Amino acid sequence: MGQLDGKVAIVTGAGRGIGKATAITYGREGARVVVASRTPATTEAVARQIWDAGGEAIGIACDVGHKDQIFAMVDQAVAAFGPIDILVNNAQGFGTEANPQKSTVFVSVQDTDDVELEYTFRTGAQATLWAMQAVFPHMKDRGGKIINFASAAGMTGDPGNTSYNIAKEAIRVITRTAAREWGPLGIQVNTVNPFLRTDAWENWEKARPEDVRKYADSVPMKRLGDPMKDGGPLMVFLASDGNSYMTGSDFNLDGGWEIHA
């Protein structure tokens, strides 16, 4: 018996990093998983990996920067698997829609560009809100678990990450507001702030090696977390019946980095 047997889960940004690790772990724990990401080939590859491990999944191409695509993705997920029990909002865009980046790019407060800010906010905070609104009709009468991804970078005001910090702090506010409004309906909404070695981290490391090395060295546990080994168990717990009374909370999956910072 898996901890998520019989549950239907949507994971956005599931083509790589912690989104991919979460989708695969959920499949192992018995959930029927909707692998949502922008690239069709990537979603299908991750869904196939879940099937090959004995799980059940479908891949749905979805650009979370577009509200209509999010609602269409949720409709397709419900048609395939039934009402949604778990939503993981992991997707986040960087750069601009015309020139997307694989990770954050250092830009000072005074040089922050409106176009970058709009795209980062839309693919982060607004996309999180849209996905929550899309699954709400399927959770309002039966409860559910929503896990949103923010960042310790926003909490500490990480220099050079103005657009990203704004988007991630807005996600924490959306989480707390929904937790209060939807708590009576049995919908739990929590936030995870990860500090893990992912594709985005490695791209960031190439762009800012000295700064990134300082971040890694400041982790009290003296290592970067692994998306599967360190992230998977927490993501399963937050989505499982074992988590029955926590909502509106921040979980720092960061080896203690936030308390050091």
Spatial separation of the C-alpha atoms in residues 182 and 143, rounded to whole Å = 9
First-residue to last-residue Cα distance in the chain: 40
Place of tokens 């982060």: 124
Kindly tell me the burial class for residue 97, based on how many C-beta atoms sit within 10 Å of its own C-beta (0-12, 13-18, 19 or more): middle
174-184 burial, b for 16+ CB within 10 Å, e for fewer? bbbebbeebee
Instruction: For the chain, give the longest Cα–Cα distance.
Output: 54
Give the angle 235-240-246 at the CA atoms, nearest 5°.
80
Q: Does 164 qualify as catalytic in the annotation?
A: yes
129, containing H or E segment: helix 127-139
Catalytic one among 119, 164, 215, 245? 164
> In the numeric block, which tokens belong to residue 234?
């927490």
Beta-bridge partners for 146: 87, 189
Residue of 244, 199, 188, 254 lying closest to 222 (CA atoms): 254
Residues labelled as active-site residues: 164
